[in-house]
Amino acid sequence: MPAISELPRPPETEDSGPKRKRSPEDIGGRDTFNKDEAQLASYAVKCFESSSRFFVAGIYVQHWTMILWYYDRMGAARTVSFQFSVEHAQTLGLVLVALNHSDASRSGYSSFLHAIDHRDCGNSLCSTTNQRFSTAPSKPLSESLLVSNKLPPKGRKGSVLRFPCSVVDDEGNEMTAFRAFVIEAILFSYPGLIGRGTEAYLVYELLVSKPQVLQQLVAKLAWCSVHRPPESKTIRKLLENAPEISRHLPDVVFACVYDSSKHLRLPRYKMLSCHHRAYKNGGYLHRDISETNLMIDRDGNDAVVGVLCDWDLSSAVDDDGVVTSSNATHRTGTYPFLATDLLAENPPVHLYRHDLESFFYILIWAGLHYSFDGEAAKYHVHDEVKVWMDAGRHIDARKDKKSLILGARENAKHVFDHFHPDFKPLVKQWVRPLWKLFRCAFKKADRCENPDDFDSSADSDSSRGSHTSFDNITLGGTLTFENFMDAIGEKPRTWLCPTTYH
């Protein structure tokens, strides 16, 4: 795809020096914003007004030249121009393939908006969308009545806004649930392009537990600034500090802030909890944490569920959590994600912390190769991790991973800077805190093995004493499940034993 360029710059002044004014036919040679492109931007505004959109894409064609445009609530961006010619045939082919494979989500339509299956609804909510919903449903409105949003709804009225959220049951378990609201009327739709893009709807909440009850509410959707607290948080603070004004504040019954990494975080950290539970209570260490063994499924409510599969190489552990099988010291796992210890010429016993290290490498791998829409660069391994792939270069891979964690901070920053834009927020939220955790643990291990290489206020006797008592299983108590979860800002899951097994 052509490189993204900046928005058109102002015309050059006389002080800029004599320069040839480029022709519109020059490839990438026009810096002015013409009336046709202004008209294209107005079409993008109409798309935002007429449907619930995250972004809008446009194609501008002039003679034999094409420019791709992208619009969202932060602004607009365009590609450099390219021509319908043999020289740019591959670029044109990419555009056509992208159009052919585009679905509602990739076209910018809201993933929260769903249509109701009119054929199986059996209630007044499926009647004409310009009428008020005056009667209650004749049967429960279940998830099965919502049409998959591979295609966008024909209109917002009569469609359903469906929001995933986390809830805690009576036993303290965090679960994924959904709140669903039928749109009766559009109260407000932001008429511009750049801004918060506020939408307000008169809605009825679908109460699955009480299908005969319709609760009328107002739903407000807006793009929030990351530098300002959400409105719901401000209202909650006001109610705490000045409860006497509650009658004059919005009664917030549901509020949630969504970002593009929410679906990624939810299944991954639950896989970590599953892995730890299997180790501590199930008595098995997985030993092959890899890209293809972490899968995402959806339950009956369409909730995202993380699945840890491929237990073929797992080993039973004793009461101390140490692998008991005869092949405990065999190098087991998938090479790109093996812990540094296991890449040594004589690998040690596979420990729980080695699997934690594999989870960290998978996160780096995903950041370099994946986007949040699930697409991967299937036929290209990023240059930053190519050495990890070659089983014959395990010593080089070990050095590279140690350099990433123990080397200069610029080494890690260089790798993280190559992450896909979708993963950039996770650098601060997950990747860097985990990098610091492993860096601290590895430094403890090196200090223990080579005390003379480190400056310490402690005398040599105490240093030698610390070596004899050093906990190699957790590298000085650092690499534990609890510390790993704390680094990514998640609380360990509370488990309940099911009465039946599937």
* pLDDT tens digits, one per residue of 384-411: 999 998 877 889 999 999 999 999 999 9
Nearest 5 degrees, angle CA 63-CA 64-CA 67?
A: 95
Question: Tell me, what's the pLDDT at 480?
Answer: 94
Backbone angles phi, psi at 449, to 5 degrees: -75, -35
In whole angstroms, give the CA distance from residue 482 to residue 51.
44
Domains and CATH numbers, the chain: 4-101 (no CATH), 113-223 (no CATH), 262-487 (1.10.510)
**pTM, two decimal places:** 0.52
Q: Does residue 297 have a pLDDT over 70?
A: no
Give the pLDDT score at 364: 94
Residue 17 CA to its chain's centroid (Å): 47
Q: Please check the confidence at residue 351 and state whether its pLDDT lies above 90.
A: yes
Distance between the two ends of the chain, CA-based, in angstroms?
Answer: 46
Strand ranges, E, within 14-94: 56-62, 65-72, 75-79, 82-83
Rounded CA gap, 266 and 482, in Å? 17
pLDDT at 205 over 60: yes
In 243-374, which residue ranges form alpha helices assigned H by DSSP?
262-280, 352-369
Helix axis angle for 352-369 and 432-449, nearest 10°, is 140
C-alpha span between 90 and 242 (Å, rounded): 63
Q: What would the pLDDT profile of 400-449 be if each residue is shown by its tens digit?
A: 999 999 999 999 999 999 998 888 888 998 999 999 999 999 999 888 76
If you average pLDDT over every residue of the chain, what do you get?
75
